[in-house]
Structure 1
Amino acid sequence: MKQLFLLLSSFIALSVHAQDTIGIFPFNKDIGSPKMKGSATYDGVAQAYTLKGGGYDVWYNRDEFRYLWKKMTYDFIVTANFELTGKEGNAQSKVGWMVRKEGDPASAHISTALHGDGLTVLQWRPEAGANMLVPQDERFFSKRNVQVMQLERRGDVFIMRAAGYGEPLQIVGYHEMKNMAGEVLVGLFVCAHDSNAIAEARVSNVRICDPVPMNNNPNPNRAWRVGSRLETIDIFNGKRKIVYQSVGRLESPNWMPGGKKILFNADGLLFTVPVAGGSTAEVLNTGLAKRINGAHCISSDGKMLGIGNSDGRWPNILLLPLSGGTPETVVNEMPAYLHGLSPDNKAVVFTAPRKDMPGAVYDIYKKSVNGGQAVRLTDSKRYEFADGCEYSPDGKYIYYNASQRGGTMQIWRMRPDGSGKEQLTFGAYNNWFPHISPDGKWMAFISFPPETRPNVHPAYASVTIRLMPVSGGAARVIAYLYGGQGSLDENSWSPDSRHLSFVSYTTL
């Protein structure tokens, strides 16, 4: 099984494998024979696309533009950052996502479009050969600083979302297209809106996701399983890179000391992979611990590794050398979900259910690595929940997420003895798993949409990773992804406090 996992895992291809293939798109050509021929290139280091395209327009009853696409049959969510980068051209030049029924210039299609003047729109041709809809039937976005566009197909309905840098995605519009069922072409396009000109665009952070069915009931005619992308992101410019991919489920990345490798959980074991990318992950020796549950943390001195293992009656907590070896049990008297080690490496903090409080109540506990009684630090009531506990690098606080009765899940902090509890985030989003950067300046966490129940962190949802200063201030979005539990459960900051690693998911 482990050999199969390694064989099926692969680093994203950085080179061209077929004549027309560009990056992840097998097809690359002009649609509609524009007078000025287009082109496309892929930067494998930056994992970004440059598109150049002519064309009179994407409008009326036929289109002219440059198109990169792949074929997809089931529901999808596609997201990317867009920028028109060429010399100042037509205000109606456009770049975006496009879904077409076929490659014919008169094909039915629906597309998101970022224009040269900043206008952002969802537009469509309802059937082959028909005119595009008149302006009052389009879906316009009022903001003019859009950089991120997302298009989702959910059955017959297409949903467009957009955002400026650092902002949550907002719904621009949606439209039902029953004639776009089954296999369609999905990809990136650029159009000059001028037959005698070329428009140029840069598209980055391109992610095509085939989501889990809404009811989690796999199509009986489809081989359904979840694949994973191990990614890194520069928190200051939002640039993401896929460093490792697998048809299996990866969880809980952790940046290793020295900044050269990333540790992650898969199939009950721990693996490492180079940050620079690679085709093979190496198994970390964890002795008899073969059912590691995704909970793990690295000591501040880089010598020890804490893991959560589910090999007995319930999940327990073990310690072993980071280089690998035989684990020693730290917590086994109660179900325990590890989240952190104290900076002096003398205590673990974890989440556990309350025996004396029915109703799925969880609290945060601390215990010495040398034994003794676990000390409860929070006092949740019925239908309340505390989780995601982690020390700040200076040891002055334990950060965690908690929901109070009837409220959303929010980020809190307290002193290591449980005193001085202070709420740090507010609002409609449910925020989980706070992680403080090694320099103590930033807090990253994962945000679930408002419709998610506060005490639930599903593995498969449209979520964001947000960043806020530890000193206080507004949180901003740095990544939009399909993920959840397993994406950012453990502290995944790079040693230089500039990058994070996380996992996003897609069905395969």
Structure 2
Amino acid sequence: MKSEICVWRHDGAISVRLTCEGRVEAPNWCADGALLLNAEGRLWRLGPEADRLAPVDTGFATQLNNDHAPSPDGGHVAISDKVETGASCVYLVPVAGGTPRRVTRAVPSWMHGWSPDGRQVVHAGARGGGPVGIYLTDVETGEERCVTDAFDHADGPDFSSDGTWIWFNGERDGAVDIWRIRPDGTGEERMTDGPGVDWFPHPSPDGRHVVHLRYPPGTEGHPADRDVALWLMPQTGGAGREIARFRGGQGSLNVPCWAPDGSGFAFIRYPA
């Protein structure tokens, strides 16, 4: 198979940054213009002018899933790996590569985003046989707290740039929609309500938009290799609009993906 690393801009143009053999997933857009991606259980970097992926040293962590995100100060990358624990666990590594430092005590924990001040990571987790929920973990102490309840499944969290909201996809009574909630677990709001299955919301850094992935009605989970769409909606709420349609799904838009200036975002599609 092939993977196309794509960039969407606000004029509607989609450009292919690089085409790769095999499955490449989950682009982050770094402050220097580089993209961080996952492939073959490893972390890779695509420099602003590079024409190939370069591996990032993550030490013993060589079974990464596609949940990763650079810290707000650009000094570290939070990754999810299972080598040490047998289940997904969140670690920090220097952005240039190095030895991982464990952040989450409990597993499984799947990394998704950072608080704007860099003090906490927001991630999905499952505890004690319960459903997957949204957790905040202090990166220094490892103390965590769940900020969602009463969902059959909550996943894909990402902070707004002002830190006032955590956006996520939540399932209730078989419907998967985009929601947002305050970091203290209050103010829960449903932001989409339609027949599609909505996953992985990402607020833009300029506070204007949220991009998310939409599966066809009836889709279970977040599978790969499906006909999916990207939707853009106002960050204040309201009707969204479809901006792209392609073959993708799992791996296309899992993690924070916006350019730092909000001019566009990166995603992956998998041409037939």
Specify the TM-score bucket, using the shorter chain as the normaliser.
Answer: over 0.9
- Secondary structure of the structure 2 residue equivalent to 1:494: coil
Q: Describe how 1:265-304 pairs up with structure 2 within 5 A.
A: 265-276=38-49, 278=51, 280-304=52-76
Distance 2:255 2:128 in 1: 25
Contact 2:107 2:127 in 1 (8 A): no
Distance 1:264 1:483 in 2: 15
Aligned partner letter, 2:211: A
Q: Describe how 1:90-129 pairs up with structure 2 within 5 A.
A: none
Contact 1:233 1:241 in 2 (8 A): yes
Aligned residue number for residue 369 of structure 1 = 139
| Large movers: runs of 4+ above 2 Å | 274-277
- Secondary structure of the structure 2 residue equivalent to 1:241: strand
Distance 1:249 1:428 in 2: 29
1:379 equivalent among 124, 130, 149: 149
Structure 2: runs of 5+ lacking an equivalent: none
Contact 1:380 1:386 in 2 (8 A): no
Contact 2:169 2:198 in 1 (8 A): yes
Contact 1:349 1:365 in 2 (8 A): yes
The CA deviation at 1:427 is 0.5
- Secondary structure of the structure 1 residue equivalent to 2:231: strand
Matched, 1:264 2:37: yes
- State the percentage of identical aligned residues: 37
The CA deviation at 1:291 is 1.1
Matched, 1:501 2:271: no
For residues 140-174 of structure 1, the C-alpha deviation after alignment (integer angstroms, 9 at most, x for no partner) is xxxxxxxxxxxxxxxxxxxxxxxxxxxxxxxxxxx
Matched, 1:307 2:79: yes
For residues 335-394 of structure 1, the C-alpha deviation after alignment (integer angstroms, 9 at most, x for no partner) is 00111111111111111124243xxx211111111124321111135xx11001111111
Distance 1:249 1:491 in 2: 19
Contact 1:243 1:275 in 2 (8 A): no
The CA deviation at 1:276 is 5.0
Aligned residue number for residue 340 of structure 1 = 113
The CA deviation at 1:275 is 4.3
Distance 2:244 2:158 in 1: 22
The CA deviation at 1:254 is 0.7
Q: With structure 2 as the length reference, what TM-score do the two structures score?
A: 0.95
RMSD of the alignment, in Å? 1.5
- Secondary structure of the structure 1 residue equivalent to 2:271: strand
Q: Describe how 1:427-438 pairs up with structure 2 within 5 A.
A: 427-438=194-205
For residues 47-95 of structure 1, the C-alpha deviation after alignment (integer angstroms, 9 at most, x for no partner) is xxxxxxxxxxxxxxxxxxxxxxxxxxxxxxxxxxxxxxxxxxxxxxxxx
Contact 2:4 2:270 in 1 (8 A): yes
Distance 1:258 1:247 in 2: 25
Aligned partner letter, 2:160: S
Aligned residue number for residue 250 of structure 2 = 485
For residues 392-430 of structure 1, the C-alpha deviation after alignment (integer angstroms, 9 at most, x for no partner) is 111111111101023x21111111111111111111111
Distance 1:386 1:324 in 2: 31
Larger-gyration structure (1/2): 1
Aligned residue number for residue 393 of structure 1 = 161
Q: Describe how 1:166-185 pairs up with structure 2 within 5 A.
A: none
The CA deviation at 1:229 is 0.9
Q: Describe how 1:461-472 pairs up with structure 2 within 5 A.
A: 461-472=226-237
2:89 equivalent among 313, 316, 321: 316
Aligned residue number for residue 179 of structure 2 = 412
Aligned partner letter, 1:309: D
Distance 2:201 2:96 in 1: 26
Aligned partner letter, 1:434: P
Distance 1:475 1:276, change over 3 A: farther
Q: With structure 1 as the length reference, what TM-score do the two structures score?
A: 0.52
Structure 1: runs of 5+ lacking an equivalent: 1-225
- Secondary structure of the structure 1 residue equivalent to 2:270: strand
The CA deviation at 1:294 is 0.8
Distance 1:230 1:418, change over 3 A: same
Number of residue pairs the alignment of both structures matches: 271
Aligned residue number for residue 330 of structure 1 = 103
Distance 1:319 1:242 in 2: 30
Q: Whose relative contact order is higher, 1 or 2, with alpha carbons under 8 Å and at least 6 apart?
A: 2
Distance 1:327 1:306 in 2: 9
Matched, 1:247 2:21: yes
The CA deviation at 1:431 is 0.8
For residues 216-273 of structure 1, the C-alpha deviation after alignment (integer angstroms, 9 at most, x for no partner) is xxxxxxxxxx321111111x221111111122100100111122x2111111111112
Aligned partner letter, 2:112: H
